[in-house]
Amino acid sequence: MAGDADSRRQRIIDATLDVIRDHGLAGTRTHEIARRAGVSSGLLLYHFGTLDGVIAAAMQESEDRYYRSLDAEVGAGRPAPERLRLLVERSGDASAVVSAWTLWMEFWVRALRDPDTAVLCRTLESRWRAVLLDVIEQGVREGAFTAPAPQLAVVRLAALLDGLSVAATLGDREVPVEKVPDLWLHAAALELACDPATLSRSSSPAPPQRRARRT
């Protein structure tokens, strides 16, 4: 039945995400995913074709979950500065953040050698940049931000967050994990020519802790 097949697929995807979090992309194996999902390796391959196929499906599902929760928390009903703060604040606890960033570093390296992973990586990154662009364009309309070229601002700010993430993950003492949001928001205020106080995390209640982006 279709319902049973959908349930199996979901169990396999959930198990894949668990294995990736525990062992990283390089340590993810078909037999371990199948064991945790309670299915045979043959059934796993029947649904997804290859190990790369199930990993891609799991990464896509992870992003879908992130954006569903993001829409609920950072919806268009909030002012742009508040939305921008929440985009970076909602990372959650440091251990979860580092785990998520480590996974993405693996994902980037994999994309260098695997065309399918590269396509998925570009798709997921484009989705993130589209959210950031929406917030910046809203801020321009509200008069809170100044951005003559919003898309270029998005490229710079997205690249900065990636760079800070890598530095923090590698243990750079000048970029501690807990300071990444403040460093990024300060740079965003300069980029968008707005009052830094409007992006200060001290100006809003702390958001509920959730998993980091790209987990």
| DSSP type of residue 93 | S
Rounded to an integer, what is the distance from CA 210 to the centroid of its chain?
12
Q: Give the pLDDT band of residue 101 (cuts 50, 70, 90).
A: confident
Given the structure tokens 């994902």, which residue do they identify? 107
Q: Is the pLDDT of residue 109 over 50?
A: yes
Domain boundary among 27, 53, 73: 73
Name the band, by pLDDT with cuts 50, 70 and 90, for residue 77. confident
Question: What is the residue range of 18's domain?
Answer: 1-73
Alpha-carbon distance values, 91 to 12, 78, 138 (Å): 26, 19, 22
199 and 94, same domain (yes or no) = yes
Instruction: Say if residue 41 is in the same domain as residue 124.
Output: no
pLDDT band at 205 (very low <50, low <70, confident <90, very high): very low
Domain count, the chain: 2
Q: Are 127 and 63 in contact (CB under 8 A)?
A: yes
With a CB cutoff of 8 Å and minimum separation 6, the contacts of 211 are: 66, 92, 96, 100
pTM, two decimals, is 0.81
Of 47, 73, 99, the residue that ends a domain is 73
Instruction: Write the CATH number for 28.
Output: 1.10.357.10
Among candidate residues 56, 73, 90, the one where a domain is terminated? 73
Alpha-helix runs per DSSP H in 39-179? 41-48, 51-73, 80-89, 94-113, 115-142, 150-169
Please tell me whether residues 153 and 68 are part of one structural domain. no
* CA-to-CA separations, 46 to 26, 27, 42, 61, in angstroms, rounded: 22, 21, 6, 19
Read off the pLDDT of each residue in 157-177 and give the average, rounded to a whole number: 92
Q: Which of 165, 129, 164 is nearest to 150 (CA)?
A: 129
Tell me the mean pLDDT in the region 64-78.
76
Same domain for 100 and 201: yes
On whether both 195 and 115 belong to a single domain, the answer is yes
